[in-house]
Structure 1
Amino acid sequence: MVESDNLRYTKIALNNGSGAIPALGFGTLIPDPVATRTATRAALEAGFRQLDASERYRNEKEVGEAIQEVFQAGAIRREDVFIATKLWNNNHRPERVKPAFEASLQKLQLDYVDLYLIHTPFAFRPGDEQDPRDANGDVIYDKGVTLLETWGALERLVDEGRCKAIGLSDVSLDQTKAIFEAGRIKPAVVHVESHPYLPQWELLDYCRTNGIVLQAFAALGHSSEPKLLDDPVIAAIAERVTKTPAQVLLAWAIQRGTALLTTSKTPNRIKENFEVSALPQDAVREISDGIKSRVRFNTVVETGVPGFIPREKRV
């Protein structure tokens, strides 16, 4: 196996002509603000050129500070980094989209983002509360807005030039089709949980056919049980090609044609996760065809409530 190749630098062209997204991306879902800043900077210094943020993570300010520190150091320019953030559920009403977008830009200290995603297809009660609940603790949804209406507000952001591409997150194949068919601007990226236990082949085929990039989050299983990193097929391949299980999983994701996100707070692990190289094709097929387990680690697609983010503490 060739140890030094260009797999880690793979880019996937976007269907709207705005450029290409680096396949290997760093996710900023890190609860601790100080760790967010340190990890984001470490990711850029390790070589990551795609960053994924969200207003729901409540750390866009720290991500922005880390980005600006790196840019000001002079080795990496803004145009070298593909930066995405996301609209949260309480801001789905069209009149709330632009203010939410502007707030994200301000926290990130950016003039534009490369990609803006609707974080989930679920609209929550509009307001300042990200996780509105009734007296029984149930989510308060907003029945007064459709996903297509929210999409229209994102299209207008593209028209204004401060958002290069738009996309969907935590959606089903049917929801993706509905927006693709009805939208004036087509989704450039669909961001969903995907890994060998949840390969999303049907959605990936649809995305490939229509020039949409499928971006996989939880590409390493998010440390959830059953542990993907401990899967015997992955472990055996890792030993065979002298790579870590994480590097095997990340290489598989890129070689099957998806973009992906990986997250860590540890600089050495961040560097390791960037040092991916191509797997032999038989290993790629072994993962795709040989792993039969089917597990979804994040139930956000059922409720709009993120499975990897703790509930807000009520005062």
Structure 2
Amino acid sequence: MTTNETFFRTTFPSDHGAEQIPVMGFGTLIPDAAATKRAVKAALEVGFRHFDCAERYRNEAAVGEALQEAFRPGGVQREDVFLTTKLWNTNHRPERVRPAFEASCRRLGVDYIDCYIIHTPFAFRPGEEQDPRDAQGQVIYDPDVTLADTWRAMESLVEEGRCRSIGLSDITLEALQDIVAIARIKPAMVQVESHPYLQEWELLDFCRQHGILMQAFAPLGHAMEPRVLDDKVLVAIAARLGRMPAQVALAWAVQRGTAFLTTSINPDHIRENFEITALPEAAMQEIRYDIGTNIRFNTVVETGVPGFIPRTR
């Protein structure tokens, strides 16, 4: 990994087709299309060059509009942007993978994707309904396809050239180990919930061993209770260094060797989350060893259904 004092050029040299991956990523899970477009434009303006999208978010077209307006002579170029998007659970059958990929490319207005990610390891009943449920409200899964089947179809996309690399999201260490064991083309990136309250060191160590970038979503805890950014260790470090707790948590994420995704529609917060600088080693050790809380906020790894679960103190 190459770094400078502000991290804005920090990249991860991928071993699996993606070349250099910017570790500071902007997530596009924003419900409103107009707000999505404004947020992506603001993120581009402050300097974000890694954008994370998904079929499931239903706003790829809005992201694409913002990107196309930025891709102009003398401005940001397509090759300057690392663009990811995700295959949704209803498209896990091999014959559905390429059409889903091509539909995402059309909505985003691009000829290629830098990293195409399996959104979750759970296959849902195929069809146009993104969240198929039975009469009792239970998810209808697809028993006729395995994650390995889907991965092989993803590998074919890389071999055809329009997809630079592939990855996985919302996956456990055990499931990742299974895919790495059978993969012809290994994951370039694995996207999981991770923050100072869910540090995932064992998963990170495995990714390092296999040249895979671990990317943290919800790196600030998604404002859930207990609030990560209110943690006394982070607050004390921030006060000592003259920074915001969010900047401390994001710098910690980069310095320990992960990428992160942060999302906001507030231009001031977008800029604050981009303008992070390196922490002293003592602060890195405090976050690793002095924070005792261990909690997962999103249960998607258990069901394949994304969703942060509100908690009380």
Classify the TM-score, shorter chain: over 0.9
Q: Could you say what the CA RMSD is over the residues aligned between the two structures, in angstroms?
A: 1.1
**1:184-239 deviation line (CA, Å, top 9, x unaligned):** 11111111000111000100000011111000000011111111111111111011
Q: Secondary structure at the match of 1:12?
A: strand
Q: Secondary structure at the match of 1:8?
A: coil
The match for 2:69 is 69
Residue pairs, 1:66-145, within 5 angstroms: 66-72=66-72, 74-145=74-145
Q: Secondary structure at the match of 1:122?
A: coil
Per-residue deviation at 1:6? 3.7
Letter in 2 for 1:210: H
- In the alignment, the residues of structure 1 paired with residue 241 and residue 91 of structure 2 have an alpha-carbon distance, to the nearest angstrom, of 46
- In the alignment, the residues of structure 2 paired with residue 307 and residue 193 of structure 1 have an alpha-carbon distance, to the nearest angstrom, of 11
Per-residue deviation at 1:116? 0.3
- In the alignment, the residues of structure 1 paired with residue 6 and residue 99 of structure 2 have an alpha-carbon distance, to the nearest angstrom, of 40
The match for 2:183 is 183
- In the alignment, the residues of structure 2 paired with residue 70 and residue 240 of structure 1 have an alpha-carbon distance, to the nearest angstrom, of 38
Q: Secondary structure at the match of 2:199?
A: coil
**1:27-70 deviation line (CA, Å, top 9, x unaligned):** 00011111100001100111001000000000000000011111
- In the alignment, the residues of structure 1 paired with residue 159 and residue 92 of structure 2 have an alpha-carbon distance, to the nearest angstrom, of 18
The match for 2:219 is 219
- In the alignment, the residues of structure 2 paired with residue 32 and residue 221 of structure 1 have an alpha-carbon distance, to the nearest angstrom, of 22
- In the alignment, the residues of structure 2 paired with residue 272 and residue 210 of structure 1 have an alpha-carbon distance, to the nearest angstrom, of 32
- Equivalent pair of 2:16/2:211 in contact (CA under 8 Å): no
Per-residue deviation at 1:17? 4.2
The match for 1:313 is none
- Equivalent pair of 2:23/2:258 in contact (CA under 8 Å): yes
- Equivalent pair of 1:112/1:163 in contact (CA under 8 Å): yes
Residue pairs, 1:272-291, within 5 angstroms: 272-291=272-291
Aligned pairs, how many? 306
Per-residue deviation at 1:8? 2.9
The match for 2:43 is 43
Q: Can you give the 5+ residue segments of structure 2 that lack an aligned partner in the other structure?
A: none
Q: Secondary structure at the match of 1:214?
A: strand
**1:137-171 deviation line (CA, Å, top 9, x unaligned):** 00000000000000001000001100000011000
Letter in 2 for 1:145: V
Residue pairs, 1:220-299, within 5 angstroms: 220-299=220-299
Identity rate, percent: 62
Per-residue deviation at 1:72? 2.5
Per-residue deviation at 1:71? 1.1
- Equivalent pair of 1:8/1:277 in contact (CA under 8 Å): no
- In the alignment, the residues of structure 2 paired with residue 226 and residue 237 of structure 1 have an alpha-carbon distance, to the nearest angstrom, of 18
- In the alignment, the residues of structure 2 paired with residue 15 and residue 170 of structure 1 have an alpha-carbon distance, to the nearest angstrom, of 21
Cα distance change of structure 1 residues 162 and 17 upon mapping to structure 2, 3 Å threshold: closer
- In the alignment, the residues of structure 1 paired with residue 307 and residue 119 of structure 2 have an alpha-carbon distance, to the nearest angstrom, of 13
The match for 1:312 is none
- In the alignment, the residues of structure 2 paired with residue 66 and residue 194 of structure 1 have an alpha-carbon distance, to the nearest angstrom, of 28
Cα distance change of structure 1 residues 294 and 142 upon mapping to structure 2, 3 Å threshold: same
Q: Secondary structure at the match of 1:249?
A: helix
- Equivalent pair of 1:64/1:109 in contact (CA under 8 Å): yes
- In the alignment, the residues of structure 2 paired with residue 10 and residue 242 of structure 1 have an alpha-carbon distance, to the nearest angstrom, of 22
Letter in 1 for 2:14: L
Q: Can you give the 5+ residue segments of structure 1 that lack an aligned partner in the other structure?
A: 310-315
Per-residue deviation at 1:73? 6.4
Taking structure 1 as the reference length, the TM-score comes to 0.95
Letter in 2 for 1:139: V
